[in-house]
Structure 1
Amino acid sequence: MKRLSEMENALRKASGQVDRANAAVRRLENENAEIRAEMEASKLSASESVTTCLEVAKREKKCLKRLLAWEKQKGKLQEEIGEEKEKISELQQQLARIKQDQKEAEVKVKQELKAKEAALAQVDEERLAKEAAEAGNKRKLEALRLKIEIDFQRHKDDLQRLEQELSRLKSSGQSTEMPLPSNALTKGISGGAKPQGETIAKLLRELDNLENSAEKRSQLR
């Protein structure tokens, strides 16, 4: 905009110079007409006397010199007018290019603003989706933890019940003197407890995986 203002000032200055040159040319033309009128008047009055004729000749010679000087000055002013017109034309072209560049820059800025707004909207959308996913994972994690606690307590109760049953059977066997193979009962109990232990281990692994996934998401965030 500063460059545009400077060019407009230069354009007004050049236009003012052209106007002044045109005024000078008109002034010279008026003086030339006056001189020619004076020459005609001098020629008419030359017949009155030789002295008057000589004076008129001197005046005519002086006027011719002045006319020649004015013609030279007129030519110079016309050259300056031509140069100023060329400068005005160049300034107008530069002004048009600057305006075009300004329009292109405005369009580019608008496009960049639209792209930035779209990127921000996408970031907000991804953030909301991530928050929703984290909330869902937290709910799943809490449900899984609750399930593990319930299963663990149930398996613990089962184990206690089996131990009590084993103790009762041992007491009953000793009282009837019909001993049972202790390894068989232990094997049955351990065989029934093994799938329960595997289930608990599997649930614990899933819980660790969910916790690790939640930690990685929080670090990436």
Structure 2
Amino acid sequence: MIRTDRFSCSQAQAALLSRLPTLEDITKTIGLSEVEIDAITETCGIPAGTFPIRYLGLPLNTRKLSIANCEPLLHQIKSKIKSWTSKYLSFAGRQVLISTVIGGITNFWSGAFILPKECISLIDKMCNAFLWKGTLEGKYVARVAWEKVATPRKNGGLATVYEVWWERNERLHRGKFRSVDMVVKKINGLIKNKISSLRPESNRRASSLMQIWFSIIDGSS
């Protein structure tokens, strides 16, 4: 046991305390003249620092946030999406992750800064690619405009997968809305016709694909 006039602690606690960073380790001198910085460094041992500095994961800067300052945000979002690409997520699952996880990360930053338009555009592109393709690699075809998907339902956007289909039907069939069963039946017929239209030398492949498709339909019904 180690004792002093003010406190006592065990050797294990003393060892833990000894590993805590000191004030000099976590303090930087910023925004002063070179003479003042040199004087503080020589007297207290506190090194000089430069903007931007990081606080609670956010870059603190005296100027407007640039796209370079947003690299940690973009890297974090890209890392999250890449970690999800191998999990075979459904469309609904990807939509939930975008609205909760990616939305939470972006809101944390935008609560402190005004994000550059270029940064917002890059985030939208990554989310759009992940939503429709499940990965950031390669090309994809968006079934619905990203603005519709990203906008909250109360503001005229889409909140569920069913509403995505609703918007698509509204646009393609001029207001003559088709039920979910009708849409699924139409998709089922289109895929069956596509598989059946494979070339004769691909009969084995067509048979395998048809069995896979039947198993998907049976499992979802």
TM value normalised by structure 1: 0.20
Compare CA radii of gyration and give the structure with the larger one: 1
TM value normalised by structure 2: 0.20
Structure scoring higher RCO (CA < 8 A, sep ≥ 6) equals 1
Structure having the higher helix fraction is: 1
